[in-house]
Amino acid sequence: MREKMIRAFTVLMIVFCVTGNLNAQNRRGDNDTLSVKQQSLIPIAAYTAKGELQQLKTALNEGLDAGLTVNEVKEAMVHLYAYCGFPRSIRGLQTLMEVLDERKEKGITDEVGNDASPINEERSKYERGKEILEALTGVPQSDTRSGYAAFAPVIEIFLKEHLFADIFERDVLTFAERELVTISVLSSIGRAEPMLRSHLNICLHLGFTPGQLNEFIGIIQEKMGKKEAREAQSVLNELLNAGIKGNSGEDTFQNESWSSKGSLTNSPNFTGTVWLNMLGTTENGLHASVGNVTFAPGARTHWHAHPGGQILFITKGEGVYQAKGQPARFLQKGDYVEIPPDIVHWHGATPDSEFAHIAVSLNTDLGGAVWSGPVTENAYDLK
């Protein structure tokens, strides 16, 4: 046990050091401005989504002049059909064709750019899409469906197989560029606040700074109008207001600190309100992942097991750990729980206390958590 504890503390120290370095890089400074190419993608996506083709022509010329390749612009328009439909996407592509012809007549030769690399994968598109979504969000994806995915399972399959495999997997645009296109569409069409919140959160996870996202909203205001910008700003503020103050006094996004709550998770493997701050995965011989998990009163995990075992370090409040067939164990700040491999268990908050712990999952090369259903109210009755 002592060796496992030493290894777990080693993992924590590495993660905290890495996180500190990322904080220094991500605070406002030289990298707090969108590149010219990134700025150019925003109005191209927004005008295409709104069907404002004359303004789109201007944005396309400016984007090509800024260094966007023809294939990058084409890829952005193909990407956005998933968020605003084929008609808008096709009209955007037709407008791009017109602009390219006009530029050719003026003697302008635009760089075509790279085609998408061929994808040679034996795994199913569903599994690849699931992996990409995990990379985008930093949250493990469960096979248990809930919400709209349970109501209409086929759409969840389409999302994994088509959107996140067929589209996101293409390497003409980076994940960050695709997310910039996505939030541009969602901000311009309006009434898509839950999706916009999710994708702004992904942007922060991918490394966009609050300053860059505020710059994005400034471009939306300039190109699309105050109403669209105000609604997007409101959603962004909700995310940033959950952050903390850095040493400089500037707001830093919550995931930039190991001690912050992180983001509300919509994982179907939790009951109640849960925040997750993934601190990173270390694979250089340590094979461990580390996350800060915060449970609102009454919130808890579903029953699950870890093939490689797990250690929990309790950092706040009062909570409960229970292995299958064993009495519940009450926990408080300063406690720790060592969970052997393949032991089915759950953990979470008591009904009256918020509860937080650092979860260190060990031997992750053996596989991720195996989930086996919710903890019923009767099982959770702690009286």
Residues 6+ apart with CB under 8 A from 337: 311, 312, 314, 321, 329, 331, 347
Confidence (pLDDT) at 89 = 97
Task: Return the pLDDT at 32.
Answer: 64
Q: For each of the chain's 383 residues, which pLDDT tens digit applies?
A: 555 555 555 555 544 444 444 333 333 334 568 999 999 999 999 999 999 999 999 999 999 999 999 999 999 999 999 999 999 999 999 999 999 999 999 999 999 999 999 988 888 999 999 999 988 988 887 778 888 888 999 999 999 999 999 999 999 999 999 999 999 999 999 889 989 999 999 999 888 888 889 899 999 999 999 899 989 988 888 787 654 333 333 333 334 455 666 666 767 788 888 888 877 554 445 677 888 899 989 999 999 999 999 999 999 999 999 999 999 999 999 999 999 999 999 999 999 899 999 999 888 778 778 888 899 888 887 76
Alpha-carbon torsion angle 60, 61, 62, 68, nearest 10:
70
Residue of 331, 29, 17, 67 whose CA lies nearest to 177: 67
What integer pLDDT is reported at residue 16 of this predicted model? Answer: 47
In terms of C-beta density within 10 A (0-12 exposed, 13-18 middle, 19 or more buried), how is residue 347 classed? buried
Degrees to nearest 5, angle at CA 289 with 286 and 291: 145
Fold of 28-116+170-245: AhpD-like (1.20.1290)
Contacts of 298 (CB under 8 A, 6+ apart): 271, 272, 348, 349, 350, 351, 380
pLDDT for 33 equals 84
- State the pLDDT at residue 239: 80
Q: Is 55 exposed, middle or buried (0-12, 13-18, 19+ CB in 10 A)?
A: middle
Q: What is the pLDDT of residue 8?
A: 53
Q: What is the pLDDT of residue 255?
A: 40
CA trace torsion 123, 160, 302, 364 (10° rounding): 40
Residue where the block lists tokens 């009434």: 191
For the chain, domain boundaries: 28-116+170-245, 263-380
How much is the pLDDT for 17? 46
Report the predicted TM-score, pTM, of the whole model to 2 decimal places.
0.59
CB 362 within 8 A of CB 287: yes
Q: Which CATH number fits domain 263-380: 1.10.10.60, 3.40.50.970, 2.40.50.100, 2.60.120.10?
A: 2.60.120.10
Query: Is residue 62 classed exposed, middle or buried when 0-12, 13-18 and 19+ CB atoms within 10 A define those classes?
Result: middle
Determine the Cα–Cα distance for residues 69 and 63; give it in Å rounded to an integer: 9
CA angle 224, 226, 229 (to 5 degrees): 75
What is the per-residue pLDDT for 24?
A: 36
Question: Between helices 53-65 and 36-50, what is the axis angle to 10°?
Answer: 160
Q: Kindly provide the b/e burial profile for residues 303-332, where b requires at least 16 CB atoms within 10 angstroms of the residue's own CB.
A: bbbbbbbbbbbbbbbbbbbbbeeeeeeebe
- Where does the chain show beta strands of DSSP type E? 244-245, 251-252, 263-264, 270-271, 274-282, 288-295, 300-301, 304-305, 310-323, 329-332, 336-339, 345-349, 355-362, 370-371
